[in-house]
Amino acid sequence: MRLVDMIPLQYRVLAAGLLLFALVAASAVIAWTVQGWRYGQQLEKQARLHTETLNQITLASTALQRTEQDKRLALEQRLAANDQTHYRALTDAQRDQDRLRDRLATADVRLSVLLDATDTTCSGAVPATTSAGGVVHGTTRARLNPAHAQRIISITNDGDQGLIKLAACQAYLKDINLAR
């Protein structure tokens, strides 16, 4: 008689079921472990790719930021050069206006206006001024009062300054639009 025949049938069926259950459980544990390893490798690969992508994005962002900073620096330099140019033009115009105003004040120069030769309402013609060495007759001119001449110079000075400032503003806006 064999040892297996001495075990009652119910216990043999139970032992076979337990053995079958142990085999199924062991294969499930082994499959679970293998799937965990594979999943871990996939997660590691994804993490590495994600890190590489982030590094590439960071490098591209840094390069773009550096390019934008270079553009901004170039724009600031151009604007500073334009400011210097326009400031120089403004100071030159002011100096010229001051010089002319001083010459008018010292009667070194007199402002005059042309008179309309066809105007019949003018009662007496003012003789034209001649140069020191010639007898050239120019058009009829009238001299202005020095106070009126000073006011005219002041008005033209304001106009010149306004035009210089307008040119500076237009150059500034042009540079900004070109930088975009």
pLDDT in tens, 89-143: 888 888 888 887 777 777 666 666 666 666 555 555 545 554 454 444 566 767 7
Q: Are 161 and 92 in contact (CB under 8 A)?
A: no
pLDDT in tens, 35-84: 999 999 999 999 999 999 999 999 999 999 999 999 999 989 988 998 89
Q: Are 89 and 164 in contact (CB under 8 A)?
A: yes
Residues 6+ apart with CB under 8 A from 144: 110, 111, 112, 113, 152
Question: In 10 A of CB 97, how many CB atoms?
Answer: 17
Rounded Cα distance, 71 and 88, in Å: 26
Rounded Cα distance, 97 and 165, in Å: 16
